[in-house]
Amino acid sequence: MCGIVGYIGKRVAIPILVDGLKKLEYRGYDSAGVAVLDCEKIVVSKSVGKLVALEGELGQDYSQASIGIGHTRWATHGRPSQLNAHPHCDCKQDFVVVHNGIIENYLELKDKLIEKGHKFASETDTEVLAHLLEDYFEGDLEGAMRKVLKTIRGSFAMVALRRQEPDKLVAARKDSPMVVGLGDGEFFIASDITAILNYTRKVYILDDGEMVVITEEGVKVTDFEGNSRTKEVYDVKWDAVAAEKGGYEHFMLKEIHEQPKALRDTVLGRLEEERVVLQEVDLTLDELAQINKVYIVACGTAWHAGLVGKTLIERWARLPVEVDIASEFRYRSPLVDEHTLVVVVSQSGETADTLAALREAKNRGARVVAVTNVVGSTVSREAHDVIFTWAGPEIAVASTKAYTTQLEGMVLLGLYLAQVKGSLPSEKIGEIIEALKKIPAQVQELLDQEDLIKDLAKSFAKVENTFFIGRSLDWAVAMEGSLKLKEISYIHAEAYAAGELKHGTLALITEETPVIALATQRDVYEKTISNVKEVKARDAKVIGLTYEGNTSMAKSVDHVIYIPETLDELSPMLTVIPLQLLSYYVSVARGCDVDKPRNLAKSVTVE
């Protein structure tokens, strides 16, 4: 989830590149860089931090080159630094590359290139691409790029420039977006339409598996094998603000729809047939044998992900787990020592309470694993081990894709611990991995039912109180659904373990109080239905969530939302999707500020 822009034409390239990067900075903002071809030399300028730092580096006396590429980064491989910022070059400074996505087999390729004598300057997966182009080059950039595409695995959008071919840009995409802008004797390439709207509204939208060669004479689109592709010109009618949001009305809706890709990216390179690969975590069997307790510490939405993690780790790794709110953890003298594994969860990696809990745990001798979205964040630097979620920047205050990728991170950690301990047979791990691979497509199935949720949301527009109920993992997701609704629609919402209704909460149930009942945990399904009948007996309107094919629930509720069939342990990544959409559309119906709800901030950096 970074930003790419490229230009070839008659104008000075750098102002166009910088202007495009400004429009893309919402996609990544920990470092930025540009590369231009000037007087037969590749000139690269890079800076850490937001784009303004790069502008300061460039000054006013910049190159007059008319071909170049630029990038604004959201770090995945290697912390934010000048060396890790894009663009990246090969050993001889003949090739320069910018790249979005993840090269899954980059370590294996890097080792082979080093054996051949290549020298690497960064920690990134992207630099491998520049060295591969150098290694495979046999006469033209286009041919070298095709060989690279056959070698790499993962998701990517990339653009390359060669010093000796000053009139050519070559680009390719797989799973990461890319568009080509068509001008009069000039052409643009970018990871998002918003970057080029100031210059053209006519674009080619590249499809997966397509490669493009751009010169001042025109644009040639082929598949990865070199077969010609015919593209229709798309005439952009959005304004600049809508384009930044990808045509969506709000960032929150855009980020809800980015979840299939985010979930795919989080497991890229981490799943084998019957084995999880977590290169960032290095717990040996001997070290794990010394662990007798696990704490999961987080705030808000991340805490809800931790509640799911508790069940998964206890069920799979057979370790006792306690989940604590970070703001309470260090003030109650937690029983933490060198035999404790502490898992801290934070989207930003800068959450003040979570960071304080991490430091308290380390002071007491605990091993700390972080689950975070931001490479180079304080949490990622201070933890012993890190699982990055690779969700990309999340702009809306209400977390969506960060939460689902945190859930996926908990699945990976639970399986990893079970794998090291040998507490799950490899066949069972393989079964879970197979189901996990299907989750992104199943999330997309749910997103395709968006209009049904939108219609349902209309009945909530004037509601003032709502209850969410569920058992086991459904209760954890109910808490997240409740938080989403209250934080962006301002409806009072509470989540309860369904079995607790009769211990007081039933007194609040009336016909004006809708209840959302989650029922995906098969071992407690009948008990959940009994609780549903209790609220129906008090005239509540009930919306149920369960698996496709379960026709019995429709007999007990007013409306059913069906999710695709999966393992019960993985269902939270699916059940939360309709709850996110429901909260979003209720907020819109009530005229609330969806992306910036009152009194709330995205990253909480004070206690």
Among all residues, which ones are annotated catalytic?
2, 602
| Type of residue found at 480 | E
Decide: 129 and 158 in contact? Cβ < 8 Å.
yes
- Cα–Cα distance measured from residue 534 to residue 530, given in angstroms and rounded to the nearest whole number: 6
- Cα–Cα distance measured from residue 390 to residue 573, given in angstroms and rounded to the nearest whole number: 16
- Cα–Cα distance measured from residue 168 to residue 213, given in angstroms and rounded to the nearest whole number: 7
Q: What is the torsion angle, in degrees rounded to the nearest 10, for the CA atoms of residue 231, residue 234, residue 240 and residue 242? A: -100
Which residues, 6 or more positions from 486, have their beta carbon under 8 angstroms from its beta carbon?
A: 492, 493
- In the chain, the N- to C-terminal Cα span, in Å, equals 29
Helix (H, G, I), strand (E, B) or coil at 508: helix
Residues in the chain: 607
φ, ψ for residue 371, nearest 5 deg = -115, 110
Decide: 244 and 23 in contact? Cβ < 8 Å.
yes
Instruction: Tell me the angle at which helices 401-421 and 426-447 cross, rounded to the nearest 10 degrees.
Output: 170
Please state the three-class secondary structure of 345-404 as a single string. Answer: EECCCCCHHHHHHHHHHHHCCCEEEEEECCCCCHHHHHCCEEEECCCCCCCCCCCCHHHH
Give the helix/strand (H/E) hosting 47. Answer: strand 41-48
- Closest by Cα among 394, 383, 350, 377 to 80: 377
- Cα–Cα distance measured from residue 35 to residue 18, given in angstroms and rounded to the nearest whole number: 11
| Peptide bond connecting 334 to the previous residue in cis, omega within 30 degrees of 0 | no
Decide: 142 and 161 in contact? Cβ < 8 Å.
no
Looking up tokens 């499809």 gives 207
Decide: 402 and 394 in contact? Cβ < 8 Å.
yes
- Cα–Cα distance measured from residue 583 to residue 489, given in angstroms and rounded to the nearest whole number: 7
- Closest by Cα among 195, 245, 241, 189 to 51: 195
